[in-house]
């Protein structure tokens, strides 16, 4: 709004509505020699001089400080996590990145995030493999298939689901959803047990599969609502052109809607991935907390960085807390990279910026 | 929605063709597919009705594809298959969600009584069926309240900077990192407040011992709420028409006063919507509260000293409790929490609908 030019920012008209802070200089007036315009035209000579400590600059600095707070917080997160993690990492007697276990509370602390990082990535990727096709299907249904009187309330319900706390999904996962998943695991084990991922001989249930499925249900609303927004933004001209050329509805979607929405879909998936990687409580409640790198999806087991923090925090001493903070730092770095990539993709296509809040 | 559908023109690719697969045939294929699946599954004894449905769906898709490519051509057949898949994605997603809602209500009603809302877990042993979430509700309200008081001025001012003052690379960097900050995991926010406030700041006042408190949880929730509030407020401020501002400037109103008296009131309902959504999200967070508030069984009104619980944390702790009365308490607390969050969310959405500033 032209705040760079003193004329508009400093509110002309001879000081009828100026603030007290600027009264003094406005009353004194500025010598005509200082203004290039002739003082008779537009009251330029009566313009108050820009003061250093007026309300205007004060408010400006206030908002600037509030805005800069975001950067301060991000930097502070990194700084304080590092400062608390370093002593624990020094005390660690094993390699933090390759050791496979978590016992930081003894006199010889031994901990490493190998199994945790593996579990985090495995459960998040599995969750996305399940959630993304379904979410895109629902998004297409809402944007192109459903009649308006179904699409509006259904979209509203999907938005509400994004607000349901994760602890509720965790509770549902461990009390209710575990039964069908256990039955399914037993069935998979019986007929596909020759595959290593479905092998083992039980017990089944509190497994990576349960955690990943619960996670999939949780990230579904986010991916759905973002990609629905993107699909709705497809220019009607493109869709009509495809239909006019004789395309079927699916061909229209494939040739007009999906290519147009591709960056938005990628960004939505990345944001869902960021959410899945950082999810804590639902996984702490559904995974069977073990420390081994195993590709078996259905046997009790699995662990993630975030779930381990929630579970091990209660009995952690000083070094234990430092170790958990160190693992949190790794999680912070991973999610930061994922989110920054997603945002960079969104920013490249400015059209999607507003929808991806 | 395309122009064709809006205007109701009858010439869509679906009905220009003369030969079409009749509904009766499609229904017939569906029945045959399920029957075939039932025969296969029960004949071989490899599963129950769930497998029949799943296998029947696959047979149905294959059958419709074959029949439609015979009658209508391959492109129309592909169209049908994808349409069926997209519809089934919807059904597939609604099933678990319906299950969540159903269990929440049916199991949550069990302990939904005055005792639950009027008592805490103090002196409640594993064999006591009583006990309630009063202390947790107090904790949630205090923590979310403090977090709101901290975050709202900060977030709204930050958004004002981005919209009204911010230019160039610095503002672009802030905007980018606000978006990135939206994705920070809640547990990382909890660890941040743990390492900064609980382990470094509180020992100064607390004889060198770290002090867990509801205020620490409020700080962590603030970190999570800030980007959401900045983002939604920024969007709302951008919707305020430029001529409104220019009119104020033309009358000689200083910029800061224009912002406070003209721009903010115009965007107010939208800003409040964003704030309510952020509050709803913060109220459901468990992990940060678990790390820095410590939890506790007794009622503690003082958010600045001693452990405090919250509804979400209460759900988590009761779910892990071995007492046979704990699950009922967990479900009722979950129902309360969801009710709180959904009321806030729905109110926010209704408020947004009344908002005159639209894109």
Q: Do residue A280 and residue B280 have CB atoms under 8 angstroms apart?
A: no
Contact A308, A101 (CB under 8 A): no
CB-based contacts of B45, cutoff 8 Å, min separation 6:
none
CATH 1.10.3720.10 intervals, chain A: 100-352
| Confidence (pLDDT) at A173 | 93
| Confidence (pLDDT) at B193 | 94
CA distance A33 to chain B (A): 24
Share of chain A above pLDDT 90, in %: 38
Position A251 pLDDT exceeds 80: yes
Is A340 in a helix, a strand, or coil?
helix
Helix, strand, coil shares of chain A, percent, nearest 5, are 70, 5, 25
Distance of alpha carbon A301 from alpha carbon A208, whole angstroms: 7
Mean pLDDT, to the nearest integer, of A88-117?
87
- Residues in A 55-94 with any Cβ partner in B closer than 8 A: 55-56, 58-60, 62-71, 73-74, 76-77, 80-81, 83-84
Which among B187, B227, B230 has CB closest to A328? B187
Q: Give me the DSSP letters along A195-247.
A: SGGG-S---BSSBHHHHHHHHHHHHHHHHHHHHHHHHHTS-HHHHHHHHHTT-
Distance of alpha carbon B233 from alpha carbon A44, whole angstroms: 36
Q: Do residue B254 and residue A170 have CB atoms under 8 angstroms apart?
A: no
The CA-based angle A196-A202-A205, given to 5 degrees, is 100
Distance of alpha carbon A93 from alpha carbon A114, whole angstroms: 15
Q: Do residue B184 and residue A164 have CB atoms under 8 angstroms apart?
A: no
**Residue B151 to residues A69, A263, A342, B146, B229: CA-CA distances in angstroms?**
11, 32, 25, 9, 8
| Confidence (pLDDT) at A49 | 58
Of A172, A205, A309, A219, whose CA–CA distance to B315 is shortest? Answer: A172
Tokens 């990609």 — which residue? A227
Count of all residues that appear for chain A in the document = 357
Q: Do residue B165 and residue A63 have CB atoms under 8 angstroms apart?
A: yes
Distance of alpha carbon A39 from alpha carbon A37, whole angstroms: 6
| Confidence (pLDDT) at B15 | 55
Mean pLDDT, to the nearest integer, of A126-153?
92
Which among A19, A171, A336 has CB closest to B330? A171
Tokens 């509110």 — which residue? A11
Distance of alpha carbon A324 from alpha carbon A320, whole angstroms: 6
**Fold of the domain built from segment(s) A100-352:** MetI-like fold (1.10.3720)
What average pLDDT does chain A have? 81
Mean pLDDT, to the nearest integer, of A217-231?
91
Handedness of CA A164, A166, A171, A174 (dihedral sign): positive
Q: Do residue A83 and residue B97 have CB atoms under 8 angstroms apart?
A: no
| Lookup: tokens for B159 | 């958004």
Where would I find the H helices in B17-133?
23-44, 49-71, 74-108, 114-118
**Fold of the domain built from segment(s) B117-354:** MetI-like fold (1.10.3720)
- Which residue stretches of chain B have pLDDT < 50? 4, 8-9
Of A128, A141, A116, whose CA–CA distance to A280 is shortest? Answer: A116
Which residue in A has a C-alpha nearest to residue B181's C-alpha? Answer: A74
Distance of alpha carbon B196 from alpha carbon B358, whole angstroms: 41
Beta bridge pairs of residue A112: A101
Chain B contact for A347 (CB, 8 A cutoff): yes
What average pLDDT does chain B have? 87
pLDDT tens figures, A143-202: 999 888 888 888 888 888 888 899 999 999 999 999 999 988 988 888 888 888 887 777
Q: Do residue A69 and residue B226 have CB atoms under 8 angstroms apart?
A: yes
| Lookup: tokens for B241 | 């028409």
| Confidence (pLDDT) at A15 | 38
Say what the ipTM of the complex is. 0.86
Torsion of CA B114, B119, B124, B130, to 10 degrees: 0
Distance of alpha carbon A232 from alpha carbon A261, whole angstroms: 9
| Confidence (pLDDT) at A169 | 93
Tokens 């933004």 — which residue? A233
Beta bridge pairs of residue A204: A299
Mean pLDDT, to the nearest integer, of A337-356?
70
pLDDT tens figures, A17-73: 434 434 434 433 444 444 444 444 444 445 555 666 688 888 999 999 999 999 999
Which among A253, A325, A342 has CB closest to B195? A325
| Lookup: tokens for B100 | 């969540």
Contact A321, A84 (CB under 8 A): yes
CB-based contacts of A332, cutoff 8 Å, min separation 6:
A77, A78, A81, B184, B185, B188
Q: How confident is the model at residue A349 (pLDDT cuts 50, 70, 90)?
A: low
Is A102 in a helix, a strand, or coil?
strand
Which among A71, A168, A343 has CB closest to B334? A168
Position A316 pLDDT exceeds 90: no
Is the backbone peptide bond immediately before A24 cis, with ω within 30 degrees of 0?
Answer: no
Chains A, B: CB contacts within 8 A come to 315
The residues spanned by each domain of chain B are: 3-103, 117-354
Beta bridge pairs of residue B201: none
Residues of A in contact with B251 (CB under 8 A): 17
Distance of alpha carbon B255 from alpha carbon B260, whole angstroms: 9
CA distance A113 to chain B (A): 16
């Amino acid at each position: 709004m032209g705040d760079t030019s003193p004329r508009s920012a400093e509110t002309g008209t001879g000081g009828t509505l100026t603030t007290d802070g600027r009264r003094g200089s406005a009353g004194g007036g500025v010598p005509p020699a200082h203004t290039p315009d002739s003082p008779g035209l537009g009251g330029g000579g009566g313009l108050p001089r820009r003061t250093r400590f007026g309300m205007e600059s004060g408010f400006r600095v206030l908002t600037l400080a509030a805005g800069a707070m975001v950067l301060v917080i991000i930097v502070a997160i990194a700084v304080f996590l590092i400062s608390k993690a370093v002593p624990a990492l020094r005390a660690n007697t094993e390699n933090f990145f390759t050791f496979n276990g978590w016992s930081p509370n003894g006199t010889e602390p031994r901990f490493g995030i190998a199994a945790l990082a593996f579990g985090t990535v495995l459960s998040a990727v599995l969750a996305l493999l399940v959630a993304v096709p379904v979410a895109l299907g629902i998004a297409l249904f809402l944007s192109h298939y459903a009649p308006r009187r179904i699409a509006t309330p259904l979209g509203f319900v999907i938005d509400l689901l994004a607000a349901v706390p994760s602890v509720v999904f965790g509770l549902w996962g461990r009390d209710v959803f575990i039964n069908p998943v256990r039955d399914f695991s037993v069935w998979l084990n019986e007929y596909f047990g020759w595959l290593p991922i479905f092998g083992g001989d039980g017990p089944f249930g509190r497994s990576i599969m349960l955690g990943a499925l619960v996670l999939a249900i949780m990230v579904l609303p986010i991916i759905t609502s973002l990609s629905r927004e993107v699909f709705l933004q497809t220019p009607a001209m493109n869709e009509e052109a495809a239909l006019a050329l004789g395309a079927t509805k699916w061909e229209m979607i494939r040739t007009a809607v999906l290519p147009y929405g591709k960056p938005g879909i990628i960004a939505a998936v990345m944001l869902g991935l960021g959410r899945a990687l950082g999810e804590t409580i639902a996984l702490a409640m559904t995974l069977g907390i073990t420390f081994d790198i195993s590709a078996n999806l259905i046997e009790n087991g699995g662990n993630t960085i975030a779930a381990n923090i929630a579970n091990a925090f209660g009995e952690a001493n000083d070094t234990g807390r430092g170790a958990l903070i160190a693992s949190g730092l790794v999680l912070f770095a991973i999610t930061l990279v994922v989110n920054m990539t997603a945002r960079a993709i969104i920013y490249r296509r400015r059209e999607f910026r507003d929808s991806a809040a | 929605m395309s122009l064709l559908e809006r205007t109701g023109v009858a010439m869509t690719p679906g009905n220009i063709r003369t030969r079409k697969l009749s509904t009766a045939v499609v229904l017939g294929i569906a029945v045959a597919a399920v029957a075939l699946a039932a025969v296969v599954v029960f004949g071989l004894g490899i599963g129950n009705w769930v497998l029949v449905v799943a296998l029947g769906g696959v047979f149905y898709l294959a059958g419709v594809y074959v029949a439609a490519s015979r009658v209508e051509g391959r492109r129309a057949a592909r169209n049908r298959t994808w349409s069926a898949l997209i519809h089934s994605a919807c059904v597939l997603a609604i099933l678990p969600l319906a299950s969540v809602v159903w269990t929440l209500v049916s199991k949550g009603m069990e302990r939904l009584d005055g005792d639950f809302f009027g008592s805490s877990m103090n002196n409640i042993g594993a064999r006591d069926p009583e006990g309630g979430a009063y202390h947790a509700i107090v904790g949630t309200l205090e923590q979310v309240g403090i977090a709101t008081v901290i975050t709202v001025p900060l977030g709204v001012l930050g958004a004002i900077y981005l919209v009204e003052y911010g230019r160039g690379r610095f503002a672009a960097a802030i905007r980018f990192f606000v978006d990135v900050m939206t994705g920070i995991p809640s547990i990382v926010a909890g660890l941040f407040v743990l390492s900064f406030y609980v382990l470094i700041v509180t020992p100064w006042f607390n004889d060198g011992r770290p002090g867990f408190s509801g205020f620490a949880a409020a700080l962590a929730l603030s970190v999570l709420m800030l980007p959401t509030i900045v983002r939604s407020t920024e969007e709302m401020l951008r919707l305020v028409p430029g001529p409104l501002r220019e009119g104020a400037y033309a009358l000689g109103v200083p910029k800061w006063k224009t912002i406070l008296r003209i721009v903010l009131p115009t965007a107010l309902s939208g800003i409040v919507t964003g704030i309510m959504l952020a509050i709803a999200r913060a109220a459901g967070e468990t992990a940060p509260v678990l790390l820095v508030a410590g939890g506790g069984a007794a009622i503690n009104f003082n958010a600045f000293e001693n452990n405090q619980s919250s509804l979400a944390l209460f759900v988590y702790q009761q779910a892990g409790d071995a007492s046979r009365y704990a699950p009922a308490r967990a479900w009722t607390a979950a129902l309360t929490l969801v009710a709180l969050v959904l009321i806030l969310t729905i109110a926010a959405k209704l408020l947004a609908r009344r908002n005159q500033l639209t894109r």
